[in-house]
Structure 1
Amino acid sequence: MRNDKRKKLAVLLSAAMLMSVLPASAFADSNRTPAEWSKLAETTPASGGIAMDEGSTVPVDVAITKSKAEALARQYVSIPKEYVLQGANLSMELLASGKRNAWGLDFVKKVNGKHLGSVYVRIHADSGQLLEFSSYSDNASSKPSYPLKVERDDAQQIALRFIQTIAADYKDSIQYNPEYGLQLLPPLTGEVLHTLRYDRMVNGIPYVDNYIELEVDSEGHVRRYSLQWDHTIEFPKIDAMLTAKQADAKLRAAAAPQLAYIIPYNVQGKKMPKLSYELLPIAIDAVTGELKGNGNMNTYRAGVVSVTPLTEKPVGEEPRSRTITEKEAVEAVRAAFKLPAEAELNGSNYSEQTDESTGRAEAFWNLNWTFKKDGKETGSTSASVNGHTGEIRNFNTYAYSDQGQADIPKVSLEQASALAIETVKKQLPWLTDELYFIKPDPKQYEDMKRSGNGRFYFSFVHKIHGAVIEYDSINVTIDSSSGEVVNYDAYLTGYEYPAKAPAVIEKDKAVASWLDYYRTQLTYRLVQQFSWNGQPLPIEKYKLMLAAGEIKGDEVKAITEAELVYQLVPRLIDEALFLDAETGGWRNRETGEATQLEKPKAKDIEGHWAQRQLELMVAYKALDVKNGEVRPNEAVTRGELIKMLVLARSSGHSPVMASADRMAAKASFNDVATDSSYFVYVESALEQNLIDVGDGSFNPSGKVTRDEMAELIVRALGYNALANYDHIFKASFKDSAQIENKGQAAIVVGLQIMSLSDGKFLPKKQVARGEASVAFFRYLQSRAELKEAPIRM
């Protein structure tokens, strides 16, 4: 039976939640083995459901019928009777050395035609083992609590009990993976799913591609379960292997950091390239120390970057800026590339724009030609020409008669390579000393005619002072029959770079820093080898022959072997980083700001009455740490308070403003410029109507009174308009006469977000950093408690 992948994907997407109606304790009632479950299914009648005719036969010999699979699903997951079986599919899944059949079952709950819940269950069609389930429920009456009722440690115990019940045979072969799914930042909402993974253990070593994974929500319900396990893998017997210390030395010796210019994508102000030392994760054979994973940036697109540039010096000068006419643009394209004599220009468009990244004014001619033969259109060409320099940015031509079929190649890979290099030299003569040709792997073109691919694809890397420009790209495509360029694309950004190569840290220091970033993991991984008619078959050739229909999948023998490796994997870091090649320090890849692997911990809040709340604000960088101190008794500033509020309302996510928007934006306040660290938070608060423009000054370093903070919190709760009816909220505070925002003060005290001191609200008192942290923690609690379920009529 053919598996309907599209339907299954839709089910998986819709079945991402639930179990608020299916508690974990109700999933199963015994520790049966897969064989016992299979036997149980033979005597268990199916309940509910519609789908395939029970009398229909399945064209696959499996031990578990559809009705037995449904019975097992209802036993495993305790699916309520009102959930009806809506669909079932039987699919075959390839394993390392065999295959497995599995039933996929979709259960749906509908009331008056409305979809209120669904459960997807996958059952092993031979053993009856539960392989997967996920679920969704439209439970409008449920609401999360904050802080969480079930933290990650408690969720682990729930997960282990579930595994003991559902997959008892596996419990002694797994080990908890403490890093997978771990949220480094404490949650700011009660709607949390704890993702837990238990890796398969083989000979005391984790095989991380086999595992049991679960999701447990903050109410303690198992919402998803997945058993990823291949019993057909044969693992090698290892008598001796490298020690962790020896592996570290081998990895250190094999590591080859590469210089690269990168652009932080959400940098404040004008974007400037940053010079980075990049090191991709690598792996070595755990027995021999041989390099297995290639982390060298000189490997691209099934090819290797040349050691030297196209030329030692530029072969021409960069064109001067001037106004390019349409006629000049057309002539530039015809001079650079071959166009058929019958090509007619049928479209021309001139546009000007400002580059969002560099702020530079740009202009382009976009041209289109069509080819006709005997009155019928046979092809088309398009090109884009720089309206200031005449430089061709891209060119593409297509003949409709090709239909993707390759004629007998008339040019070799070597000839096509030479043509691609010559094309780039002619189009970009001022950059030839900075462009490096990527030599393609000849294997990918061994069966060009057979595969129906009649084109050679080439790429070039742009380097400045030996550093790769990651965001520049140059590509050329050559037709193997005509030997003509059919596609040319040169995307070159206009950033400014230093005239001389900057001084950078030594490679050894870069390697040491990156090995602090990565951790060394000992694990197995699978390697697949193919053979045909008893001869080894490279995987590239296998794919081409399979795509061309020259061989069938069952004619090729696939051998899958497990190998033991030491590999580098990233440590748990709550931000994307890059290593500054000039200073040797870590920077945030998003903002470009200096950061560090180990987050600073405040040493002056240990034992403080607001320690937990202060730690929360420090974790989200709402409060800074200077010299190891967070200064909890210091007055909080207006900028810090607004940042706290915006982060609290957005579950810890910082407002994102594209660089183009930031460059075009005008600051709403005269003392919070676009390059201020508070700019996005203040603008977000203004947009959410949490603050007013007033006289145009925000005063981010100013202090905040309790009266002001009360109004801010009530605005965030959405009750500010109501609070202004102060006769509704009568506050019997000793100092009520001194309170400007009486209704707001009554609300925050009534909700226990802010407290009194000897019956006084103290509205004019400045708010300390510790007090503000506690207030916003309590705000999060109140927000969860005040969440209402919709009224059902």
Structure 2
Amino acid sequence: MSLKKIASLSLVFLLIASLVFSNTVFAGDLTKEEIMLKIAAGEIMPEEAIKESDVKIKKDQAVKIAEKMLDDPDLYSQGYVSLSPYWGSGITIWSVEFSKKEGLSGSVSVAVDANTGDIVSFNAWESYGNNSAFVAKFTRDEAKAVAEKYIKEVLKEDIKNFELQNEDDPYLYSSYRTSGVKERITYYFDFARKINNVIFPNYSINIGVDGTEGKVTSFSINRFDLDSIKFQTPKNLKTVEEALKEYRKTVDFKLRYSLNYKQSIFGPAKQKVILAYTPVSSMYMMDAVTGKEMNYDGTVIDSKAVETGLSDADLVPMDPNAKEPKSKAVNDEEVKKIAEGYKKAVEEILGVKFDENNSGNGYYYLNGSEKIWNFNWYRNEEYKQTYLNLSINANTGHVLNLNTGSYDYSYDIMLKEGKKAEEIVENVSWEQGKEKAAEVIKKLVPSQYGFYSDRNLKAPELNEEAKKYMKEYSYNYVRVVNGIEFGSNNIYVGIDRTTGNLTNFNFTWSDVEFPKVKDVIPLEEAAEKYFENMTAKLRYFVSITYDENGKQKVGDTAKLVYNFYNKDNLYGYYEIDALTGELVDWSAYDERITPLSSIKALGPHWAQRSVELLISQGILRKQDFKYDENVTRQDAVKMLALAKGISYYYTVATDNKSMTFKDVTVDDPYFVYVESAVIDKIIVPSGDKFNGKEEITKVEFIELLTNLIGYGDIAKKDEIFKLPENIEISKDKTGYAAICSVLGILPVKEGEVFKGDDKVTYAEAAQALYKALSFIK
């Protein structure tokens, strides 16, 4: 069922994409030809060409309205102004851009409703100066209050009619934040309109608040004419439990090899193949009354409506006797010869010669220990482009990606000009196209094609509309290892139904190790793990489709539907490791950061505000946080290094020659933090062992803290300092304690005695470090 449904949606999408293109009237310097190419490329959204005479608000009026969003208009110069549809809203907008005249570079973008004069979006950006420092002074809750006030007073909306959708902002806690106080902190909020106490996502407000200054730096409001549609009454609905029960029936699992990426904030992601149970079908949206699966156009999905010709059965390689392609490291000249060979093969198949001035000698990058070469060739003709993109692994000599084909923009421009699309005359049947596809595959990847399985077992059943306008047949092949599908490696081939020519070819290959198929957990156990944290969310859904001219059509009724997601990973995709039984996020980061909701669940605490602010700045990263837990040396150094800000150049290492400590190698997740702390002189090494898992004392913590703010050398002159009575510390550390005491950054609860030999807790460390942020240079 799942494959039929997926292909049905794909077919609809392809048909729409081939018919729908858009236009924008630019006030800048784009030529007519450039505009037409943008139209053809789909870079501009669907609608008929819009002229200034078509809207009530003229250009000059729009600029004056937009200027109201500038703190000081005299500091800005007006940039481009454009008139275009506002995607997904059915309105037309003037987009106005302003840029700073002098000093620090910056810009402000404003979108003005071209018929009402309302400002529908705003975004202010400023560059980072060399001495810029940003310490979060507003918690997320405080920033939320700023956002809600803005919505009420400026956007004139009643916040009681909206519901916050991202209480724990997923982007806030991402591992991308690495620059500490050098990186601006912005809180983002997504509010959805409520109707009958149920969210209606088509009416929404997105707003950003600066965490240092507490002012709104961006917003967009997507209003919807609520009187134009009828909202289904919330009665006789399936319960969440009933919805989940029906959802569970739609989910199938398949044992596959899965390519996972262990993401890192430093350097390339590490690839690893696992044997996994992956959900190959599931219900995206359910009618909350009937419990039936719904399509994106609001209709009930009929799994038998479209046969795709794809099958998962009997994954037999095209050449069952194929032997693994030989792996041999090749030098730069040999790589270029290999690339030239593929280029000639593609030119022969496509019947073209790539422009010499549109080709290069290629370039390479290092992916860990692998050297990957990329080559690109193009041939540009009037409204047509032919291309070849190729990547080769120099360590093995294998082609990793081969993407080639051509695209004729004249067809799309013809549609845009209002001419009727010509019906396709099929001269090449699906079976004949498949034969041509097989010939192309064998010519282009002769040593690797044999490991791919032909999934095109029979011709797809097309409706009459598809037969008229579908320009090509598509064929799909998937790599098979040990009789199991490896979905990350595919071959896609497009054959023109009229000419039989190749229209596009995409090949992917990975040089990776595959685990053996043994000790696999039962499917039932994997399924239970997958479902245990699933939930359903009720919302209103209104269908938005497009006619043959690309005009938006909005349904007349908003239906109540359920969507399904994992509570811990709203935007992610999980599969189950078939050997360990654990849920796996295919693009997981090295760490997951404690959400603020978990901190609040711990209850009020004297260090709570400092903890929340450090989390917001990406400095405190601990999944299971406890205020009274003692801090290890490695976690203390990690926090301080992140507070200072980590330079990418500090952390690039391909071997262990650059390591400072024998027990912190490049494979250690703390390596980048430790080495960055050494370079920034937060750590002054006194031996070749770091012993990162040891709990750190308060005296060592204040020594690191003093080094962080740049007073380490002064602190060594302990004879010039005198300590108050509530500090107990060895004489040789007097300077560190005195400096931290004067600055108010001792890791101790107010009113308590500071004892240097005590271990420092997360509460104490967080409060001291947050106070120290403003002293970082």
TM-score, normalised on structure 1? 0.66
Secondary structure of the 2:511 match is: coil
Secondary structure of the 1:744 match is: helix
Aligned equivalent of 1:316: 321
In 1, the alpha carbon distance for the partners of 2:400 and 2:610 equals: 54
Q: 1:524 aligns with which of 532, 540, 543?
A: 540
1:645-694 residue CA offsets vs partner (Å, 9 max, x unmatched): 2243349x999968xx5567654322223343433322332343332454
Aligned equivalent of 2:43: none
Cα distance, 1:343–1:221 mapped onto 2, change above 3 Å: closer
Aligned equivalent of 1:648: 643
Asked if the contact 1:365–1:387 (Cα under 8 Å) also holds between the matched residues in 2, the reply is no
Asked if the contact 2:317–2:453 (Cα under 8 Å) also holds between the matched residues in 1, the reply is no
Secondary structure of the 1:769 match is: coil
The answer to whether residue 669 in structure 2 is matched with residue 669 in structure 1 is no
Secondary structure of the 2:514 match is: coil
The answer to whether residue 232 in structure 2 is matched with residue 237 in structure 1 is yes
Residue 493 of structure 1: how far off its partner (Å) = 2.0
Aligned equivalent of 1:132: 121
Aligned equivalent of 1:283: 285
The answer to whether residue 177 in structure 2 is matched with residue 161 in structure 1 is no
Q: Which amino acid aligns with 1:207?
A: F
Aligned equivalent of 1:265: 262
Asked if the contact 1:610–1:774 (Cα under 8 Å) also holds between the matched residues in 2, the reply is yes
Q: Which amino acid aligns with 1:731?
A: K
Cα distance, 1:767–1:425 mapped onto 2, change above 3 Å: farther
In 2, the alpha carbon distance for the partners of 1:58 and 1:757 equals: 64
Residue 714 of structure 1: how far off its partner (Å) = 2.0
Aligned equivalent of 1:686: 678
In 2, the alpha carbon distance for the partners of 1:137 and 1:384 equals: 37
Asked if the contact 2:339–2:375 (Cα under 8 Å) also holds between the matched residues in 1, the reply is no
In 2, the alpha carbon distance for the partners of 1:99 and 1:748 equals: 59
Cα distance, 1:245–1:388 mapped onto 2, change above 3 Å: closer
Residue 567 of structure 1: how far off its partner (Å) = 0.9
Q: Which amino acid aligns with 1:527?
A: S
The answer to whether residue 215 in structure 2 is matched with residue 228 in structure 1 is no
1:349-388 residue CA offsets vs partner (Å, 9 max, x unmatched): 999999946x68x999999999xxxxxxx99999889999
Residue 68 of structure 1: how far off its partner (Å) = 6.1
Pairs within 5 Å for 1:380-395: none
The answer to whether residue 588 in structure 2 is matched with residue 583 in structure 1 is no
Secondary structure of the 1:158 match is: helix
Q: 1:777 aligns with which of 767, 771, 775?
A: 767
Asked if the contact 1:259–1:275 (Cα under 8 Å) also holds between the matched residues in 2, the reply is yes
Residue 391 of structure 1: how far off its partner (Å) = 7.3
Asked if the contact 1:736–1:742 (Cα under 8 Å) also holds between the matched residues in 2, the reply is no
Aligned equivalent of 1:416: 433
1:80-105 residue CA offsets vs partner (Å, 9 max, x unmatched): 57467836857353687x95344445
Aligned equivalent of 1:506: 523
Q: Which amino acid aligns with 2:243?
A: A
1:523-567 residue CA offsets vs partner (Å, 9 max, x unmatched): 233434455xxxxxxxxxx4xxxxxxxxx55xx784545443211
Pairs within 5 Å for 1:258-407: 258-260=254-256, 261-266=258-263, 272-279=272-279, 282-292=284-294, 305-309=310-314, 311=316, 314-318=319-323, 321=326, 339=348, 356=367
Aligned equivalent of 2:4: none
Residue 228 of structure 1: how far off its partner (Å) = 0.6
Aligned equivalent of 1:746: 738
Aligned equivalent of 2:510: 493
Instruction: Give unmatched runs, 5+ long, in structure 2.
Output: 1-22, 31-50, 380-384, 413-421
The answer to whether residue 194 in structure 2 is matched with residue 201 in structure 1 is yes
Residue 252 of structure 1: how far off its partner (Å) = 1.6
Q: 2:78 aligns with which of 61, 73, 86?
A: 86
CA RMSD of aligned residues (A): 6.2
Aligned equivalent of 1:730: 721
Cα distance, 1:595–1:758 mapped onto 2, change above 3 Å: closer
Asked if the contact 2:52–2:83 (Cα under 8 Å) also holds between the matched residues in 1, the reply is no
Q: Which amino acid aligns with 2:232?
A: K
Aligned equivalent of 1:175: 163
Cα distance, 1:742–1:290 mapped onto 2, change above 3 Å: same
Secondary structure of the 1:473 match is: strand
Residue 748 of structure 1: how far off its partner (Å) = 1.8
1:240-259 residue CA offsets vs partner (Å, 9 max, x unmatched): 44333322222121223444
Aligned equivalent of 1:59: 53
In 2, the alpha carbon distance for the partners of 1:712 and 1:424 equals: 60
Q: Which amino acid aligns with 2:437?
A: A
1:121-162 residue CA offsets vs partner (Å, 9 max, x unmatched): 4443444444233335689999888663x4333334433333
In 2, the alpha carbon distance for the partners of 1:274 and 1:613 equals: 40
Aligned equivalent of 2:40: none
Residue 275 of structure 1: how far off its partner (Å) = 2.8
Aligned equivalent of 2:12: none
Aligned equivalent of 2:204: 211
Q: 2:757 aligns with which of 746, 766, 773?
A: 766
Pairs within 5 Å for 1:8-23: none
Asked if the contact 2:391–2:402 (Cα under 8 Å) also holds between the matched residues in 1, the reply is yes
Cα distance, 1:715–1:579 mapped onto 2, change above 3 Å: farther
In 1, the alpha carbon distance for the partners of 2:398 and 2:84 equals: 54
TM-score, normalised on structure 2? 0.67
Aligned equivalent of 2:455: 437
In 2, the alpha carbon distance for the partners of 1:737 and 1:169 equals: 57
In 2, the alpha carbon distance for the partners of 1:330 and 1:176 equals: 52
Q: Which amino acid aligns with 1:175?
A: E
Secondary structure of the 1:584 match is: coil
In 2, the alpha carbon distance for the partners of 1:737 and 1:525 equals: 65
Q: Which amino acid aligns with 2:582?
A: G
Cα distance, 1:579–1:139 mapped onto 2, change above 3 Å: closer
Asked if the contact 1:623–1:630 (Cα under 8 Å) also holds between the matched residues in 2, the reply is no
Aligned equivalent of 2:26: 4
Pairs within 5 Å for 1:447-462: 457-462=474-479
In 2, the alpha carbon distance for the partners of 1:368 and 1:100 equals: 40
Residue 216 of structure 1: how far off its partner (Å) = 2.9
Larger radius of gyration: 1
In 1, the alpha carbon distance for the partners of 2:377 and 2:95 equals: 50
Q: Which amino acid aligns with 2:53?
A: P
Q: Which amino acid aligns with 1:214?
A: I
Q: Which has the higher contact order (CA 8 A, sep 6+)?
A: 2
Aligned equivalent of 1:473: 490
Secondary structure of the 2:455 match is: strand
1:208-252 residue CA offsets vs partner (Å, 9 max, x unmatched): 132123223344423333221121752453464433332222212
In 1, the alpha carbon distance for the partners of 2:162 and 2:654 equals: 49
Q: Which amino acid aligns with 2:523?
A: E
Cα distance, 1:442–1:777 mapped onto 2, change above 3 Å: farther
In 1, the alpha carbon distance for the partners of 2:124 and 2:173 equals: 26
Cα distance, 1:247–1:192 mapped onto 2, change above 3 Å: same
Aligned residues: 686
Aligned equivalent of 1:717: 709
In 1, the alpha carbon distance for the partners of 2:354 and 2:91 equals: 58
Residue 753 of structure 1: how far off its partner (Å) = 1.6
In 1, the alpha carbon distance for the partners of 2:428 and 2:106 equals: 60
Cα distance, 1:181–1:697 mapped onto 2, change above 3 Å: closer
In 2, the alpha carbon distance for the partners of 1:151 and 1:776 equals: 14
Q: Which amino acid aligns with 1:91?
A: L
Q: Which amino acid aligns with 1:504?
A: I
Q: Which amino acid aligns with 2:151?
A: I
In 1, the alpha carbon distance for the partners of 2:738 and 2:709 equals: 14
